């Protein structure tokens, strides 16, 4: 049954479609106050296991509880100073509202900006624009990289430098350097296999957990080539968890033009002291058959090595292949449908996993390591 | 080579040369728009590259003109003038530039120039703001602004 949030979003989406002239930022005082927004709502259903991604949750009982609305407010109190804030209203599984990020930016020179506050984490191709569905072909970002996979925090709280410089030959080099603290969602179904973990107790539910990373030092280098739409990035950071360090390295490449969208990313993260290693990546290709109709395909995979869990466990790997079909009413409003076949239980498993493991053991069966996920929804921006 | 093939090659060469010459001569701006600035500005011409950077907010000041703050003003997405301006100045499609601004805005990295709905309102904005720059239709009657050349 569509929820109230979903009904609201559908109304806004149709307003964007019917009045495309109004589908632009709200610009007041000649650019001193600019308000933009983005929203999404989707229906998801699987053939059994529950699927976890940061913008999407799916289960065998179909659900409309995948909705969000974000308001971006940028204020320029002075020529070189901008204050940027994101307010969100989410219903992804449960209802949440709040301030996602808020920071001050000072434009020191054409090639150096200084940011301070709760700043969107500059990681890879899409982390900063995660809520904006009109910038990608699938409803959700690839879960292997941007899901609860222990590398993609929403924000860091600290100070950062960012800018872009021209390089001979028609290249542009963009950079980010930052330091501070961050927290990200992580989900570890394999913890149900470890007797000392709370999630191994019957009746307990596996859910994303927030991990805080302190003393983070990180950066991103981006290379825009003379070939329009061809860009490369490398992102890395290092920080401290409670009982270990965390090191992340992510390589990214994309080619975008009016018809084609090709993206690929791969990463490795390591929590060396406790023997946790993750690596994963994806490749995604989308093509506009017409201005309105777009087809897309995506393959993603991740692998976790965890001390104390057998390496061949079905709860340590994820492989997904998805096919998508989209209808773009305008660049600001799109209807998307996709079907994803998932192998492995790293990101798809019964929420009451300890119970499911015990029942399977009693019956002499196994938990299915295959999951089919259907997603259908609307996304818009203004 | 057969005479008809030689003639075809010559015809194609002439057509290509004509097309190249008809774009514009060096130093002339294309026929699809005129760039206008505040009359108090000392800027007399601007390169295509600098103009693109100003409108993409990659530079905040005029290179000439005593490093005065550059305030670009766009026309609406539906304006035919904007389409021509975008293709010639940015060397990208309008969709590509709109995509660029979506990424910039939603990552908190910048906001696009303000938009105005007509040549008249663009000229009003430029006339009222020192350092402002906009573009209008080639046959627009200039009022309170001055036109400058765009160099390739």
Q: Which of A107, A119, A228 sits opposite B92 (nearest CB)?
A: A228
- pLDDT beyond 90 at A176: yes
pLDDT 10s digits, A196-235: 888 888 888 888 788 899 999 999 999 999 898 899 999 9
Looking at B1-129, list the stretches that DSSP marks H as alpha helix, in order from N- to C-terminal side.
3-23, 48-55, 80-85, 94-106, 119-128
Which chain B residues have a beta carbon less than 8 Å from that of A120?
107-108
- pLDDT beyond 80 at B22: no
pLDDT band at B19 (very low <50, low <70, confident <90, very high): very low
CA distance A357 to chain B (A): 42
Which chain B residues have a beta carbon less than 8 Å from that of A381?
102, 106
Q: What is the pLDDT of residue A9?
A: 63
CA distance B2 to chain A (A): 39
Is the separation of the CB atoms in A51 and A347 below 8 Å?
Answer: yes
Contact check, Cβ <8 Å, B93/A80? no
Judged by a CB distance cut-off of 8 A, whether residue B130 touches chain A is: no
* Phi-psi label, residue A275: left if phi above 0, alpha if psi -120 to 50, beta otherwise: left
Q: What is the pLDDT of residue B24?
A: 41
- pLDDT beyond 70 at A334: yes
Q: What is the pLDDT of residue B23?
A: 39
Q: Which of B59, B102, B109 sits opposite A134 (nearest CB)?
A: B102
Q: Which of A31, A72, A129 sits opposite B103 (nearest CB)?
A: A129
Contact check, Cβ <8 Å, B107/A21? no
Alpha carbons A35 and A24: distance in angstroms, whole number? 9
Judged by a CB distance cut-off of 8 A, whether residue B18 touches chain A is: no
> What is the average pLDDT value for chain A, to the nearest integer?
88
pLDDT band at A328 (very low <50, low <70, confident <90, very high): very high
pLDDT band at A13 (very low <50, low <70, confident <90, very high): low
Instruction: Report ipTM (2 d.p.).
Output: 0.80
Alpha carbons B120 and A35: distance in angstroms, whole number? 25
Q: What is the pLDDT of residue B26?
A: 40
Q: Is the dihedral of CA A232, A238, A239, A244 positive or negative?
A: positive
Structure-token pair, residue A91: 């219903």
pLDDT band at A354 (very low <50, low <70, confident <90, very high): confident
- DSSP assignment of A83-139 equals EEEEEEEEEESEEEEEEEEEEEEEEEETTEEEEEEEEE---TTTGGGTT-GGGSSSS
- pLDDT beyond 60 at B100: yes
Alpha carbons A220 and A161: distance in angstroms, whole number? 11
Average pLDDT for A71-88 = 88
Contact check, Cβ <8 Å, A72/B96? no
- pLDDT beyond 80 at B121: yes
Which chain B residues have a beta carbon less than 8 Å from that of A36?
105-106
């Amino acid at each position: 049954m569509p929820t109230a949030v979903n009904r609201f979003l559908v109304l806004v989406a149709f307003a964007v479609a019917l009045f495309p002239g109004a589908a632009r930022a709200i610009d007041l005082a000649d650019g001193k106050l600019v308000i933009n927004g983005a929203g999404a709502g989707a229906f998801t259903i699987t053939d059994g296991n529950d699927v976890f991604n940061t913008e999407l949750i799916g289960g065998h009982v179909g659900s409309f509880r995948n909705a969000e609305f974000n308001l971006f407010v940028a204020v320029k109190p002075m020529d070189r100073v901008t204050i940027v804030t994101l307010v969100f209203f989410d219903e992804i599984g449960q209802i949440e509202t709040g301030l996602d990020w808020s920071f001050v930016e000072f434009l020191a020179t054409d090639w150096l900006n200084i940011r301070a506050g709760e700043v969107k984490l500059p990681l890879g191709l899409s982390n900063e624009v995660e809520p904006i569905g009109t910038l990608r072909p699938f409803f959700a970002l690839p879960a292997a990289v941007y899901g609860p996979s222990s590398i993609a925090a929403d924000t860091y709280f600290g100070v950062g430098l960012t800018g872009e410089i021209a390089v001979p030959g028609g290249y542009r080099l963009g950079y980010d350097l930052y330091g501070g603290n961050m927290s990200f969602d992580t989900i570890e179904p394999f913890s149900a296999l470890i007797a000392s973990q709370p999630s191994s107790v019957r009746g307990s539910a596996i859910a994303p957990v927030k991990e805080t990373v302190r003393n983070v030092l990180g950066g991103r280098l981006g290379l825009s080539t003379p070939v329009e739409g061809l860009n490369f990035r490398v992102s890395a950071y290092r920080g401290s968890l409670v009982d270990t360090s965390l090191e992340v390295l992510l390589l990214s490449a994309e080619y975008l033009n009016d018809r084609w969208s090709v993206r690929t990313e791969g990463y490795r993260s390591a929590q060396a002291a406790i023997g946790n290693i993750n690596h994963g990546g994806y490749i995604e290709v989308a093509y506009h058959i017409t201005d309105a109709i777009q087809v897309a395909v995506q393959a993603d995979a991740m692998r976790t090595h965890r001390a104390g869990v057998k390496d061949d466990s079905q709860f340590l790997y994820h492989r997904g292949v998805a096919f998508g079909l989209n209808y773009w009413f305008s660049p600001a409003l799109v209807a998307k449908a996709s079907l994803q076949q998932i192998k492995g239980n790293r990101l798809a498993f019964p929420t009451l996993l300890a119970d499911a493991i015990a029942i399977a053991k009693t019956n002499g069966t196994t938990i299915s390591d295959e999951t089919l996920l259907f997603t259908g929804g609307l996304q818009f921006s203004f | 080579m057969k005479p008809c093939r030689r003639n075809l090659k010559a015809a194609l060469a002439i057509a290509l040369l004509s097309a190249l010459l008809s774009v514009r001569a060096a130093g002339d701006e294309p026929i699809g728009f005129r760039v206008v600035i505040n009359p108090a500005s000392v800027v007399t011409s601007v390169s295509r590259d600098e103009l693109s950077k100003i409108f993409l907010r990659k530079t905040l000041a005029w290179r000439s003109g005593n490093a005065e703050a550059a305030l670009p003003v766009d026309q609406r997405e539906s304006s035919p003038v904007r389409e021509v301006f975008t293709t010639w100045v940015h060397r990208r499609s309008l969709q590509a530039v709109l995509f660029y601004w979506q990424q910039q805005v939603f990552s908190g990295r910048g906001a696009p120039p303000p938009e105005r709905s007509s040549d008249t309102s663009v000229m009003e904005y430029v006339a009222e703001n020192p350092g402002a720059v906009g573009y209008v239709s080639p046959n627009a009657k200039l009022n309170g602004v001055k036109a400058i050349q765009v160099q390739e």
